[in-house]
């Protein structure tokens, strides 16, 4: 056992030598990274880059959370994925790729739609990275981290611009300066791959600073990569912020009833249903057509079914998606 520990220590020393030689990290900082647990919520354009950078930096434990599957349109900017991965769960594939990059990184996979019901999957995280694409989930993260006194890092990118901001329990939070609104999406407004990569790199760097206890001032960073603009903005705590006054509205929202949600990608609907028996469905579907399975999903024709009971269905309309769900999965 002592020999194994010694070999592991030597391997770590060699692997991270270009990083530990930096005065900003050093041996002590590297040890902190190896003991850290970081949750990455949203394994897309931001999350794939941030998660890979953290794994390569030697973060010991990553919690990967994503509700979606990989599409061809993702390949322009979501760095961990290839054409062979299209149709599979982002969280599952990202974990496979990261394990190939750094086999010593411990991984926890949650192919879920984050909600008040399942958000306790963040309990073991020392730090949370918001790499999502919608405000409701961001406000949920904000409330959870505020209530549980966890630091987290907000990040967003659209077109050629992006924002990053570290959030600390006793300072300004997302609800101090942002309200829920209908925003543009990558599908309707477009996004440049270099801005998502840049924002994710800044976010990962802030994560390294927080984990290594490097002094960090809370600022909102704004980058316009096309016009070569970089700004920092000071954000003050709002006197009217509900979260800062311990009113965690997004943690107490009622559970959503089964419904269809149209994703920003074309002709794909999410239907929220109850958890299903995978074994029975595999047995039934295999009599008709090919069924592909991994630890979190079943894939059959135009259906991707997740463990938490959600289904992503390609269809022209919500009614057609519900019909497919009823026929092959059941109400």
Give the Cβ contact number of residue 160 at 10 Å.
16
Domain boundaries, the chain: 9-251, 260-328
The full length of the chain comes to 331
* Helix intervals (H) in the chain: 2-15, 17-20, 26-35, 45-57, 90-101, 135-148, 186-189, 193-211, 278-285, 318-328
**Predicted confidence (pLDDT) per residue in 164-208, tens digit:** 999 999 999 999 998 876 566 676 678 999 999 999 999 999 999
pLDDT at 258: 47
Residue 60: pLDDT over 70 = yes
Cα 40 to Cα 127: distance, rounded to the nearest angstrom: 9
pLDDT at 133: 86
Evaluate whether the domain defined by 9-251 bears CATH number 3.30.2020.30.
no
């Amino acid at each position: 056992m002592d020999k194994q520990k010694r070999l592991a220590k030597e391997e770590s020393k060699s692997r991270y030598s270009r990083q530990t030689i930096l005065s900003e990290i050093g041996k002590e900082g590297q040890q902190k990274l190896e003991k850290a647990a970081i949750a990455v919520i949203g394994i897309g354009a931001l999350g794939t880059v941030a998660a890979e950078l953290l794994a390569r930096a030697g973060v010991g434990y990553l919690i990967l959370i994503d509700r979606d599957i990989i599409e061809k349109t993702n390949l322009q900017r979501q760095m961990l994925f290839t054409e062979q991965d299209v149709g599979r769960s982002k969280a599952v594939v990202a974990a496979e790729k990261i394990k190939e990059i750094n086999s010593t990184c411990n991984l926890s996979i949650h192919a879920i739609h984050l909600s008040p019901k399942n958000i306790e999957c963040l309990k073991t995280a020392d730090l949370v990275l918001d790499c999502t694409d919608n405000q409701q989930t961001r406000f949920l993260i904000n409330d959870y981290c505020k209530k549980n006194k966890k630091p987290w890092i907000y990040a967003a990118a659209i077109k050629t611009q992006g924002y990053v901001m570290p959030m600390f329990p006793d300072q300004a939070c997302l609800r101090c300066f942002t309200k829920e609104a209908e925003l543009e999406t990558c599908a309707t407004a477009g996004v440049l791959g270099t801005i998502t990569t840049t924002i994710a790199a800044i976010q990962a760097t802030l994560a390294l600073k927080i984990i290594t206890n490097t002094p960090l001032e809370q600022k909102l960073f704004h980058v316009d990569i096309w016009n070569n603009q970089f700004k920092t903005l000071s954000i003050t705590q709002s006197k009217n912020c509900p979260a800062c006054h311990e009113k965690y509205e997004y943690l107490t929202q009622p559970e959503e009833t089964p419904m269809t949600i149209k994703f920003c990608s074309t002709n794909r609907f999410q239907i929220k249903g109850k958890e299903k028996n995978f074994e029975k469905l595999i047995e039934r579907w295999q009599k008709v057509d090919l069924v592909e399975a991994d630890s979190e999903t079943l894939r059959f024709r135009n259906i991707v079914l997740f463990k938490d009971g959600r289904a992503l269905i390609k269809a022209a309309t919500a009614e057609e998606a519900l019909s497919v769900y009823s026929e092959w999965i059941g109400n």
